Structure 1
Amino acid sequence: MHRKFRVLSTSKIDPLGSEMLAPLCELIVPPDDRADTLRRYMADIDALIVRVRLPDDIFTKAARLKAIVRHGVGLDFIPVSQATEAGIPVANLPDSNTQAVVEHVVGALFALARDFHRIPGLLKREGWSVRQAYHGLELRGRAVGIVGLGRIGLGVATALHHGFGMRVLGYDVATQATLPDFIVQTSLESVFSESDFITLHAPLLPSTQHLVNAQLLGLVKPQAYLINAARGGLVDDSALLEALSENRLAGAALDVFEPEPLAADHPYLQRDNVLVTPHTAALTQESVARMSVGSAQAVLDVLHGRCPTNLVNPEIWDHYLERWNLRSPR
């Protein structure tokens, strides 16, 4: 009997994905996701499902590794260039968590506009009289600035414009020729200076590291809010904390951080005008199931010589088939 493939998932996946792998694969979940722990497993692994950031040298002793699948979208968790150099196919799941993140961002915007993150605590501590000082915001006619106009950015824009009558200002590094008419494309500076809410949906690249810096935050309205459910590295934390402390920004909703996990004594956790969530925007029951099933399918495809739906480094595919003596089905 042919031995089972050994598949390492950096953390647990949904049972639907585990069940798909079970007939042909042994699924292994390490006791923790520290870099040294993951390195210890690499020599005897056929495929890797990625849910945490991998160290750049993870492939140095991974002679058997044939497939790397991102349980989600962001490729900054994977050293793709090193994988490509090693001849290892990398796949991700571009639309697996779009709806989940869109809904999280819209919910976070609501929470900021209506003080949902603060009012319950104030009510418990100070009583009914807190309503005398309450002044929530209505969204209709206000401007939301969206940095990054991919699937999630467009989803947020559509929900807020059509659902609540918000004006949409958009900025994207890439030219978007087919954007809906209701999105006004403008400069990054204009997005920050003219928006009432700013939400980040750009990928983390060397060019976008600390994109939100002191200079940009110096342009915002003092009553504006910032939402980040993309990548923590997009924001210069010291600049954001300074803007919040000096009341040059009304508040923020942050789901991602650099580094993660967020330290227990981090200043964000001490501020009542910052809504903090632990990188959960993409983690609904439905999206986790989609990501797990999609990851399992991509692993099985690659291990059997079938090109996965979203192969990130297609230039190595033919070499991969030759190296492992596989035939791609016609």
Structure 2
Amino acid sequence: MPRALYTDYPWADIELERAILAEANCELIVAPAEDEQTLAEYARDCQAILTCWAKVTAAVIDAAKDCRHIARTGIGLDNIDVPRASEHGMLVTNVPDYCVPEVVEHTLALLLGLARKIAFYHSETKSGIYNINAALPLERLEDQTVGIIGVGQIGSVFARKCAALGMRVLANNRSREVPECSQWRSLDDLLGQSDYVVLLCPLTPETANLMNADTLAKMKPTAFLINTSRGGLVDHAALARALELGQLAGAGLDVQVPEPPDLSQPPYNDRRVIVTPHAAFYSTRAVEELRTRVARQVVAVLQGRMPENIVNSHLLGGHSPA
């Protein structure tokens, strides 16, 4: 009987995945901890690994000598050593398009919340302070500029939503291919012109700590930073310092380093910062789709068929994964 290891998951149970994997007579086991040593031990005799946020490192991959497939229950791949998996001939898959509406909506919610100072006013009124002047100034959204860093599937949809609200949309990516509703700008120009800087790019060695002391200092003091992509894109200590110095007006953060962060420390305890618990991807529909598609990917590989969304497809060389 083949076995698959589930490294970690944020939902209540894994009965959905277990039922689908049973179609391939595959036993699904769960690691009791997410440290490298534990994952390596539990991966030793598994033919597949399903992972959400736990780090599937070179050591874990080296230990999993029978593994043919690592399935990421999500979009980003920064927690998987894809080159090492490729060296071992392991297919790596993800689900890059399952939660586009949810992330767009969450990002837009953070933007609107910051624009109208919703969280601040809510905090004030709940503590007994009913004062419109406490959060001024407030600006009309259609007079504002949003700068989007990373204009892939999610960034493109978000750009169109912002344009529909009457906002001026600037965009920055490597390809310089952006939606018609936006204008491509260099990173420095985007930072200097935007009232909202939105991070929707992947975490790579090139984008790690993209928002640091130098780049934050290039933002307008009235501007807001929004991150619904990966926590590692932001140097959070630098962000806390920039807020202290008044270099920007606030932030909306759905992703942090580490997760969960120490919420008693800046920037998380700053009243100008909205913090949500890595929830942008979540909806009932999105999570069911994600879990089902990942389990189907694993079954496909176990049965010698081609799974969807292979990120290291060069391994196939025109052949099936059997």
Fold shared per TM-score above 0.5: yes
1:284 matched to which residue of 2? Answer: 283
- 2:48 aligned partner: 47
**Aligned Cα root-mean-square deviation (Å):** 1.9
2:87 maps to what in 1?
85
Shift of 1:198: 0.6
Offset from partner CA, 1:201-255 (integer Å, 9 cap, x none):
1111111111112222122111100001111111122221111001110000111
Equivalent AA in structure 2 for residue 10 of structure 1: T
CA contact (8 A) 1:87 1:319 kept: no
Residue range with higher mean Cα deviation, 41-50 or 75-84: 41-50
Q: Counterpart in 1 of 2:175? A: 174
Offset at 1:279?
Answer: 1.5
Q: For residue 15 of structure 1, report the CA deviation from its aligned partner.
A: 4.4
Q: Distance in 2 between matches of 1:290 and 1:9?
A: 17
- Which of 117, 120, 132 lines up with 1:118 in the alignment? 120
Distance (Å, rounded) in 2 between the aligned partners of 1:219 and 1:15: 49
Deviation at 1:269, TM superposition (A): 2.5
Q: Give the alignment's TM-score, normalised by structure 1.
A: 0.90
In the TM superposition, what is the alpha-carbon distance from 1:284 to its structure 2 partner? 1.8
Unpaired runs of at least 5, structure 2: none
Query: How much has 1:61 moved relative to structure 2?
Result: 1.4
> Which residue of the partner structure matches residue 6 of structure 2?
9
2:143 is paired with a residue whose SS is coil
Counterpart of 1:237 in structure 2 is 236
Indicate how the Cα distance of structure 1 residues 137 and 19 shifts in structure 2: closer, same or farther if over 3 A, else same: farther
The Cα of 1:141 is off from its aligned counterpart by 2.7
> Are 1:215 and 2:214 an aligned pair?
yes
Moved more, 243-252 or 7-16: 7-16
The Cα of 1:99 is off from its aligned counterpart by: 1.4
> Does the 8 A contact of 2:305 with 2:320 survive in 1?
no
Higher relative contact order structure (alpha carbons within 8 Å, sequence separation ≥ 6): 1
Q: Report the CA distance between 1:321 and its aligned residue.
A: 5.5
* Residue aligned with 1:249, SS: coil
Deviation at 1:152, TM superposition (A): 1.0
* Inter-partner Cα distance in structure 2 for 1:321 and 1:308: 9
Q: Tell me: CA distance 1:138–1:35, structure 2 relative to 1, closer, same or farther (3 Å).
A: farther
Corresponding residue for residue 65 of structure 1: 67
CA-CA distance at 1:134 after TM superposition: 4.3
Give the number of equivalent residue pairs.
316
Note if contact 1:141-1:165 (Cα within 8 Å) is conserved in structure 2: yes
Identical columns (%)? 36
Q: Quote how far apart the aligned CAs of 1:30 are.
A: 2.2
Aligned match of 1:108: 110
Q: Any runs of at least 4 consecutive aligned residues in structure 1 with deviations exceeding 6 A, and if so which?
A: none
Equivalent pair of 1:84/1:316 in contact (CA under 8 Å): yes
Pair 1:252 & 2:251 matched: yes
Give the partner amino acid of 1:75. Answer: L
1:305 is matched with which residue?
304
Q: For 1:169, what is the secondary structure of its paired residue?
A: strand
| Amino acid paired to 2:251 | A
